[in-house]
Amino acid sequence: MKDQVSLDSSRITLRQSLGRTHMMTSLTAVCMAGLFLTITALLALRLYADHNLELVARAISYTTEAAVVFHDEEAARDALQAITSHEDVASASIHLANGQVLASWSRAITTPWSSLERQLAHLILPGPVELPMLREGKEIARIHLVGHGQYLLRFLLQTLLATLVCLLLSILGALYVARRMQHSITEPLKSLARVAFNVRRRRDVNLRVPAANIAELHDLGEDFNSLLDELEAWQAHQKRENASLLHQATHDPLTGLPNRALFEARLAQAVTAGGAQGEHFALLYLDCDRFKQINDNLGHAAGDDVLITLARRVQHQLRPMDLVCRLGGDEFAVLLSPLHHRQEVDEVMGRIQRAMAAPVVLGDGQQLVAGVSVGFAMYPEQGTTAEALLQHADGAMYEAKRQRREEEDNTRDTER
């Protein structure tokens, strides 16, 4: 787990990755452009310096020709200094045809920059320029010039400053463009991640990924939404299946009433609530009279009709919070909860007896009267456990059935 956490913390985000990519691209582009422009400018400067030295040499040749002819060293030196001191020249000299130096001039090194300028000129600028001085087609002297790097250093410094400014502007522009692009890319991905997080952690499949402006991200979001649609449909199907299975496991398939398993669970809850909160409730046991004779004489279909009618009529006589269940065969149980007075039990039992006194219409149109015998047990008077209440209610039901049969037998004996 620690290794996974450290691995996650070492990973960069997509936003950081895009920012670094844009930054490196911008810096590389600016540096390469600056390098190429600098090389091109240096080549142009080299050609310019070479051409400028040739022009200076020609000017010196025109100006000092007379001094050379008459070997006037002072006039040649003054003319040489007057011309070269205002040009980008490090040194200049005039050599006679016999090799003697008639006049020479060199720029004084007064600052460290001057030394740097000469070194740059030596490395980058073309070599010394030599121009012959001709008179009547005959060389009378030769002019020797060496370039100075003043303008070159100034150019390099300006280029460096311009490159730094371009770098700064490129960084700012790259950051702006990166943020715009990051927003267009990361926002749809963040939306997708939020939806995926809620689906995984909160099981919320109702969320959907919003549309994106980028086609690929939009298609990705639509595909993810399609998966969520299928997942939502599958989840709804699973809920229906689970609800159906739960209903089948806890309800009687014939009457649709809760079965014994659900009744026992609700009875146990009622006993627990009664012990904790002091609530009272009653348990009714119902049994259909002459049900075996109906099944034997009229068939199981008639018996099913009687059970369905009994279940429906008993349901209609109960309060909304009461529960009626089919325990099996022709036995039913009713849980009256909460209970405030014993009179409520008698009223419910009376309504059930009156409802079942009406004839039951069978599927083939026949009618018969199917009475019920009812016994009850009250909590906590007749028991404080589920077993004790069931046993007492069952015994009371059989006692009621026995009394009902005795009454019917006495009635038949009286009629005879």
Rounded to a whole number, what is the distance in angstroms from the first to the last CA of the chain? 92
Question: Residue 7's pLDDT band (boundaries 50, 70, 90)?
Answer: very low
186: helix, coil or strand? helix
Residue 282 CB neighbours (<10 A): 25
Place of tokens 């422009």: 37
Give the pLDDT of residue 335.
95
Topology of the domain comprising 2-172: Beta-Lactamase (3.30.450)
Give the pLDDT of residue 5.
45
Give the pLDDT of residue 150.
63
Give the lowest-confidence range in 89-103, 111-125, 142-156: 111-125
The residue that leads in pLDDT, 345 or 64, is: 345
**What's the pLDDT tens digit per position in 399-413?**
988 888 887 667 666
Could you say which of 88, 252, 289, 330 is catalytic? 330
The residue that leads in pLDDT, 25 or 55, is: 55
Task: Break the chain into its structural domains and give their ranges.
Answer: 2-172, 260-410
DSSP H helical ranges for 100-214: 112-124, 150-202
**What's the pLDDT tens digit per position in 287-337?**
988 888 888 888 889 999 999 999 999 999 998 899 999 998 899 999 998
**What's the pLDDT tens digit per position in 187-198?**
888 888 888 888
163 vs 20, 45, 207, 245, 376, CA distance in Å?
A: 20, 18, 51, 76, 101
Give the pLDDT of residue 127.
64
251: DSSP letter: B
**260-410, which class in CATH?**
alpha beta
- Sort 288 into a burial class: Cβ within 10 Å, 0-12 / 13-18 / 19+: buried
- How far, in Å, CA of 311 to CA of 295, rounded? 17
| pLDDT of 279 above 90 | no
Give the pLDDT of residue 284.
94
**Two tokens at 237?**
């199907």
Question: Residue 6's pLDDT band (boundaries 50, 70, 90)?
Answer: low
Give the pLDDT of residue 338.
87
296 an active-site residue?
A: no
**What's the pLDDT tens digit per position in 149-187?**
666 666 667 777 887 787 778 777 777 777 777 777 778
Confirm if 310 and 290 have CB atoms less than 8 A apart: no
Residue 365 φ/ψ, nearest 5 degrees: 95, -15
- Sort 116 into a burial class: Cβ within 10 Å, 0-12 / 13-18 / 19+: middle
Strand partners of residue 258:
251
Confirm if 92 and 144 have CB atoms less than 8 A apart: yes
